[in-house]
Each structure stands twice: as C-alpha cells, then as structure tokens.
Amino acid sequence: MSRTALVWFRRDLRLNDHPALQAALAAAERVIPVFVYAPDEEAPWAPGGAANWWLHHSLAALSARLAALGSPLVIRRGPTLEALRALISETGADRIFWNRLYEPAVRTRDAAIKEALREDGLTVESFNSALLFEPWTLQTQSDQPYRVFSPFWRNAEPRLVDVRAPTPAPTALPGPAKAVSSEPLETLALLPRLPWADGFRARWTPGEAGALARLTPFLDGPVQQYRQRRDLPGDDDGTSGLSPHLHFGEIGPAQVLAATRARGPLNPQVQHFIREIGWREFAHHLLYHYPQTPTEALYHDKFGAFPWRSAADYADNLRAWQRGETGIPIVDAGMRQLWATGWMHNRVRMVVASFLTKNLLTPWQEGAAWFWDTLVDASLANNTLGWQWSAGCGADAAPYFRIFNPLLQSERFDADGAYLDAWVPELRSLSGKHKHMPWTAPVPPKGYPAPIVDLAATRDRALAAYDRIK
C-alpha cells in the first residue's frame, strides 16, 4: 500500500515555502491537503468578521491552486480531531504534517491532537513556517523571555543569516486514489450577510498571488524611502500592505527576507523595513511566553488597579470612536478607513489607540476587541502588543506620560490633508490648520461633529490617573 500523508492547512495558505507540504511530498506517495473549520476551538479568539471575509477568499484561491496541481483541498468541519480521524479512516493516511501556530488555545489544542494521533499509530510532525525564529529560541542573558524590543532585536538580527531559504512551490501534487468528499466553502458562511465588506475588494486581493503582487513592487521602489514614507497615512505606497497576507500565511517572513536580500545588500532603509518584521516576531515571542496578555496587562501587578472609567460612563464615547464620529479628524479618518477597508495605517492605529485609552480613559481591551472584529490582519499577537503599548501597560511601553496629541500628529504626518480628505469628506472645503482643527474655522463645516472631549483636559485627567499607580 502506498503511503498517504495529510497536510493540515491552517494559517499557512500558500504553496511556496511550506515546510509541512514539502515534508509530506518527501515522505509519501499521495498527499491530501485538508482545512478543518473549527472556530470554537480558538475561543475566546475565534476570527472576527473581517478576518472571516479574508479567510473565505484566501481558501478559494488556495483551493483553485491545489486542484490545478492534482490534489484538491478537502474542507471539513470540526471538532478537528474527529474530522482528521475520519479523513484518515477514509483515505488510509498514515502520517500528518502541519505548520505551527502560537495562540494559547490553539497550542493547547494542537498538542492534544498530536498526542492523540501518535497514540493512533500515525507519524505526526509540525514545522515553523510563520516566523523567522521560534519564540523559545531567543532569551535574555539570564534565560528569561524578553519584554523590551531593542535587546530582543539585538539578539535576533545577527541570526538572520541563519534563517532557512524558502522552498519553491511544487509543480504537481499526487492526490488520493479516489475522490474524497469535501464541505463546499460557501457552507462555512464566512462572508457577511450584509454588504459591509464591499470596500475590502477594492483594496485587497487575498491569496498567495495577491501577497506576491504586493511584495514585488514594494521592494522594487518604495522600500528605498521606507523610513520617511512609512509614517505618512496619505501615502498609499509608503508601507508594504503585507500584514494580512503574513497573518494568513499567504507569504512567510522567510520569503520576505529572501526577496529583500535578492535585491542586494540591506541598506538602512531596507533594514528598517526588516526591523518591522522583527516587531512581528517580538509580538509572537511575548504571546508565547505570556499567554495571559490578550486580556490582562503584562504589568498586571501595577495596571490591574488602573482607574478606568466605568462602562456606563464611556459607552457613548466608545460608540462615537467606533463610528469615526469623535470630532477629532485624524481619529475619525482612521476609524472610517478601518470600517471601509478592514485596515488602518500603523501611525494612525497608535493615534486612535492613545485617544481611546488616554483621552477617553477607556480600557484597552475594548479597543482590542473592536480591532479584532474589524481588521483583516487581526493577529492576536500583534493586536495585543499594539494595544498594551498604546495603553502604557505592556512590553516596550514608554512611561505613562506618553499621550499622543492627535492634532499635532495630524499636522505633522498629514500636512497636506490628503488622508483627511480621503476619509472625512466633510472637511474638504477647509484648508490649513482648520482642516486638522475644524472647530477653529470661521464657519465650521456642516455635518461634522464638535469634539466629544477637550483634549487638554482629558490629557490632564489621564496623567492624574496614571500618577495614582506609579
């Protein structure tokens, strides 16, 4: 009997640089790719609405590529262990391979599945495809996890020379001896019933081809001005736009690193871009070693007593923030961009997060939950690090006194108002400082709200609150 291997796809929805797929091809005569839909097993962090939109289209793209190679994607519903065992029984598979994930609930689930299938007599192996470095391979000199990015990266950066070379996609896949039943993708109901995601299609092309289509032109030009352009939210080409593709594994960081090296030595601009890949590595390092952080401050001993406003007090402000109706133009532009495209420029993410946690004194968990449901690149590791950084309660966070002034941020990084014009059309008739501070205009624009809070007064309130837990 010929050996048959299952390749369990998760958030590694590509064929290039796919260690589990390569291992299966090397170990078996037949390869069956499978995706198991089991969101309950990721609770309480099952994918949100925007991520599900992306997942649907990414699975469709992957399924088409696999079918063209000779082994169609088999889609099953969970529970995962039951689904895999059923497929093993149907196909006679004697081995299974997958690439690792690092979220706490998923790690626990995967460990149990690995143990159970090995007890069943299968060969079971997992691999790293999502990171440059496994989270347990980097430690401080005292053998502790890192909590600050700079020393983490000083340790990691010299090791980039040892990152594995990406492998090419297979040209053919020997499929099962007979057809295997599969759940139709549409029955997973990943797409929204209402057309709130229509704007996503204008910006994004989920799938491996879409990822490569973003990486190549970015490395051929804009990356050479990355340090200057990455902070300008109105510059659509200033950042790579790879975050959702990396999250769903449509491209891997090893591929990004190899592609940058293929264009010559890593000059300071390119090094700055790779450093941002390093921040993603750092986020996963933290999540792995501190699995409580998606809901609890890293420095919980101090921040557990922080005097946030009550839900009843901040409810109206939170709703205005979510809808992009705060009366602070750059905050509203960012929140509207998020709703329309499933993404927000990183500089603006910091601004809106600072505004929510400090000017509105709303718990960072509320913002993290909203981003989780509305971002197409909603990574638990990145989302947690970003929100705790902004709230001042997590790794690499500056002291409590860092409070972004959204007006200065707007004037500095969107000086010509291009970003505001794109997302807050009510302000297009204004110019100069009035566009950034419309309440100062001789005739305030119709249809745009007045600021929901006084920035100076709420800054003082935040400083007083942080002073209580210093």
Q: Give residue-wise pLDDT tens across range 5-59.
A: 999 999 999 999 999 999 999 999 999 999 999 999 999 999 999 999 999 999 9
Same domain, yes or no: 323 and 455:
yes
Does 440 map to a domain? yes
How does strand 4-9 pair with strand 30-37?
Answer: parallel
DSSP state for residue 38 in the 8-state scheme: -
What is the reported pLDDT for 274?
Answer: 97
Same domain, yes or no: 379 and 320:
yes
CA angle 216, 221, 225 (to 5 degrees): 130
CATH at residue 148 = 1.25.40.80
Number of domains in the chain: 3
177-187 pLDDT per residue, tens: 899 999 999 99
Does 188 map to a domain? no
214-235 pLDDT per residue, tens: 999 999 999 999 999 999 999 9
| Residue 457 to residues 323, 355, 403, 462, Cα–Cα distance (Å) | 23, 13, 12, 9
What is the reported pLDDT for 148?
Answer: 94
92-127 pLDDT per residue, tens: 999 999 999 999 999 999 999 999 999 999 999 999
- Using the 3D structure, point to which of 129, 144, 173 is the last residue of a domain: 129
Does 173 map to a domain? no
CATH at residue 406 = 1.10.579.10
Does 419 map to a domain? yes
Confidence of residue 400 (pLDDT cuts 50, 70, 90): low
Same domain, yes or no: 147 and 221:
yes
Same domain, yes or no: 274 and 147:
yes
Whether the predicted pLDDT of 156 surpasses 90? yes
Does 35 map to a domain? yes
What is the reported pLDDT for 228?
Answer: 93
- Using the 3D structure, point to which of 129, 145, 177 is the last residue of a domain: 129
Same domain, yes or no: 323 and 460:
yes
**Is the distance from CB of 395 to CB of 147 less than 8 angstroms?**
yes
Tokens of 401: 């006194």
Confidence of residue 395 (pLDDT cuts 50, 70, 90): confident
Q: Kindly report the average pLDDT of the chain as a whole number.
A: 96
Tokens of 39: 């969101």
What is the reported pLDDT for 167?
Answer: 96
Whether the predicted pLDDT of 2 surpasses 90? no
Instruction: Average the pLDDT over 187-209 and give the result.
Output: 94
Same domain, yes or no: 111 and 13:
yes
CATH at residue 54 = 3.40.50.620
Does 113 map to a domain? yes
What is the reported pLDDT for 326?
Answer: 98
Whether the predicted pLDDT of 1 surpasses 60? no
Whether the predicted pLDDT of 470 surpasses 80? no
Does 192 map to a domain? no
**Is the distance from CB of 338 to CB of 383 less than 8 angstroms?**
no
Whether the predicted pLDDT of 269 surpasses 80? yes
Same domain, yes or no: 120 and 214:
no
Same domain, yes or no: 39 and 52:
yes
Same domain, yes or no: 110 and 142:
no
CB atoms within 10 A of CB 282: 26
- Helix (H) or strand (E) run with residue 142 in it: none
**Is the distance from CB of 420 to CB of 329 less than 8 angstroms?**
yes
Domain range holding 244?
Answer: 131-163+208-289
How does strand 30-37 pair with strand 95-99?
Answer: unpaired
Confidence of residue 301 (pLDDT cuts 50, 70, 90): confident
Same domain, yes or no: 277 and 352:
no
Whether the predicted pLDDT of 436 surpasses 70? yes
Does 66 map to a domain? yes
- Using the 3D structure, point to which of 254, 289, 324 is the last residue of a domain: 289
What is the reported pLDDT for 401?
Answer: 66
302-352 pLDDT per residue, tens: 888 899 999 999 999 999 999 999 999 999 999 999 999 999 999 999 999
Same domain, yes or no: 59 and 101:
yes
Give the residue with greater pLDDT, 196 vs 15: 15
Instruction: Average the pLDDT over 130-149 and give the result.
Output: 96
Whether the link from the prior residue into 442 is cis, omega within 30° of 0, is no
Same domain, yes or no: 450 and 316:
yes
What is the reported pLDDT for 351?
Answer: 98
